[in-house]
Amino acid sequence: MKRSSGPPGRVVPQVIKKYGFPVESHTVVTEDGYILNLFRIPGKRRTYRGLQEQEDDENENKFPVLLNHGLFANGHIWLMQHGLRNLAFKLASEGYDVWLSNGRGTRYSQKHVKLDPESSEYWNFSFHEMGMYDLPAVIHYIRSVARQPKIYYIGHSMGSTSFFVAMSEIPELNDFVPFYTLPHVPDSVSTKTLLHYMQLINSGKFRQFDYPSSWENEERYGVKGPRDYNLSKITTPMVLVWSDNDNLATPKDVNITRSFLRPDVVKESIRVPWYLWTHRDFIKAIDADKLVYDKSIEILNTKRYG
DSSP per-residue string spanning 252-269 = HHHHHHHHHS-TTTEEEE
CA neighbours within 13 Å on the CB side: how many for 297?
21
C-alpha to C-alpha distance for 171 and 184, rounded to whole angstroms: 29
Which residues sit opposite 112 in a β-bridge?
Answer: 34
Instruction: Answer yes or no: are the C-beta atoms of 205 and 228 closer than 8 Å.
Output: yes
Sign of the alpha-carbon dihedral angle for 242, 246, 251, 256: negative
Answer whether residue 49 shows pLDDT above 60.
no
Give me the mean pLDDT over the 263-276 stretch: 92
pLDDT band at residue 56 under the 50/70/90 scheme? very low
In a domain, 203, yes or no: no
| 3 state SS of 213 | coil
In a domain, 197, yes or no: no
Answer whether residue 223 shows pLDDT above 80.
yes
C-alpha to C-alpha distance for 246 and 157, rounded to whole angstroms: 11
pLDDT at residue 5, as a whole number: 39
In a domain, 55, yes or no: yes
In a domain, 200, yes or no: no
pLDDT at residue 2, as a whole number: 43
pLDDT at residue 187, as a whole number: 35
Answer whether residue 21 shows pLDDT above 60.
yes
In a domain, 229, yes or no: no
In a domain, 198, yes or no: no
Which of 167, 108, 169, 120 lies closest to 139 in space, CA to CA? Answer: 167
C-alpha to C-alpha distance for 294 and 149, rounded to whole angstroms: 25
Answer whether residue 134 shows pLDDT above 80.
yes
Which of 40, 162, 190 lies closest to 105 in space, CA to CA? Answer: 190
Count of domains observed in the chain: 1
> The CATH number of the domain where 293 resides is what?
3.40.50.1820
pLDDT at residue 124, as a whole number: 93
Give the type of residue at 93: S
Domain range for 143: 11-191+237-301
pLDDT band at residue 97 under the 50/70/90 scheme? very high
pLDDT band at residue 46 under the 50/70/90 scheme? low
C-alpha to C-alpha distance for 86 and 91, rounded to whole angstroms: 9
Which of 112, 120, 88 lies closest to 23 in space, CA to CA? Answer: 88
First-to-last CA distance in the chain? 40
pLDDT at residue 76, as a whole number: 92
* Percent of the chain clearing pLDDT 90 (strictly above): 61
In a domain, 30, yes or no: yes
- pTM metric for this prediction: 0.87
C-alpha to C-alpha distance for 38 and 146, rounded to whole angstroms: 13
pLDDT band at residue 137 under the 50/70/90 scheme? very high
Answer whether residue 59 shows pLDDT above 50.
no
Higher pLDDT, 104 or 306: 104
- Alpha helices of the chain — where are they, by DSSP H? 11-18, 87-93, 127-129, 135-146, 158-169, 191-203, 214-221, 251-260, 281-284, 288, 294-301
Higher pLDDT, 156 or 5: 156
pLDDT band at residue 164 under the 50/70/90 scheme? very high
Q: Which of 13-27, 124-138, 246-260 has the lowest mean pLDDT?
A: 246-260
In a domain, 85, yes or no: yes
pLDDT band at residue 57 under the 50/70/90 scheme? very low
pLDDT at residue 72, as a whole number: 77
Higher pLDDT, 10 or 274: 274
